[in-house]
Structure 1
Amino acid sequence: MGARPAPLAQARERVAARLRQREQPPRPARRGPARLGRTAARLATPAPTLVTPSPGHRPPSAGTITGVITLYHDYTSPTSAVAVARAHRLAAEGLPIQLVGFEAIGVDMTLPVTVDVLGELDAVSEAARAEGLALSRPDTLPVTGLAHVAEDVAQAAGRGDAWRAAAYRAYWEQAADLADRSVLLTLAAEIGLDTERTTAALDDRLALAAVRQRTGELRREGIGGVPTLLAHRTLVPGLLPEDDLRALAGP
């Protein structure tokens, strides 16, 4: 039987082995093509930029004042068309209602009319006639962000109700493209808005960013579609019977 190595010699050998390992250069990490591709993509993708609306285009308040109803709406919703017409009529009678635009579809491209919209159109046809609206089948679902920009301009000029009435009728009765700047400028001129101010707002990317930022904030607060009413800090469906609206506006 051979002699066992002394404990001290064993310890020295372990230390020497560790030193030899430290002196060796590190091996490059192996990466397959897929992993390299993901790394390159991360490096090539710029960080997202936070767009802050300019002071002149701050979105209107979401409206949480006790006794004030806020109606969120979008132009390509037939139910919104009826709810807005009803809200305008009741507001003219003194009911405390404010209206805020909400870009419901959230896709930056014109879409074909969906089965849901057609079903909604049929469901509200009688209520629309009662409000004096003749809702026709639209050709497309345009992007409504710029229409809401123009609405904010009109609201600031005290012409918000006139703008909404004109825009809803143009889309639902005349199949107007509310994503077309020339259409929006024509409507703005018809209701007496300042052409230069409206043009500047429609050309201002920050104004459109403000509309979309507002929509994003409202989605996070629980608004998923239109029309939606906010009253006494509670969200309810936007197309309510007139008596219910009056009761909701009470203290």
Structure 2
Amino acid sequence: MSATLSAPVGARSRRGGLARLNPLTPAALLLLLGASVSFVLDVAALVGLHAWLLVVLAAGLRAGPAELLRAHLTFAPFALGVLMTNAVSRPGRVLAEVGPLLVTDDGVRVGAALALRVLVVAVPAVVVARRSDATRLVVALVQHCRVRPRAGFAVLTAHRMLAEMPQRWRLLLSSARSRAPLDRRGRPRIGARGYARAALALLVGGIRRGNHVADALDVRGIGAPVRTSRRQEPFRRTDGVVAAVVVVGALLAALGARLMGG
């Protein structure tokens, strides 16, 4: 069971230096970031803060340009919707007329700030979540936040099973195609019944694996009132140093961008 719930060998080194910290340190920084930007409406400051966070993600987690671009594109439609909604719904000096709607300067300014808030918070959260070791996070939550082991490892097991579902779904569809009759073009014709059988097999397989994992956890005493853990996630001096550097750098980047912007 420990092999199932542990990260691959060498995965931590491939994730960058920040992945070696206690998993609660990046989580706390993300919470602090979300709470802090809630009070910021200066576009220049948010741009500087976002640029600094991208540098941290690239250097600390080895996030490449493609990964950062995908994270931005994931939330770009929502951020654009926030910008457009505020641009035509707030009073101010009219910049343009779009049919019956009036685009105002205050609307564009506030909308741009709110859209940047979305990217500032969401992009680092997605990258950190993808690069974090779920097992280490659960161990840290149990050790430092008094989360019950049964609840923590149940969430971890569900996370791993959900991550495996796309691969299992493709495997089931490939199996269905191998048995399906061919159409006039020579392609497998699965049909609605084939997809329904594959979905049912995916559900039944998930339930069976969940039961097997639950039995294995009970055998290993996961629900015992007092238990010890071989794995430990202590806070080290490095956690404090990195957190201080990230926070101070964010403040300087936001302040410097605001001063340069005017």
Q: In proportion to residue count, which structure has more helix?
A: 2
Say whether the fold is shared (TM-score over 0.5).
Answer: no
Q: In proportion to residue count, which structure has more strand?
A: 1
TM-score w.r.t. length of structure 1:
0.23
TM-score w.r.t. length of structure 2:
0.22
Larger Rg: 1
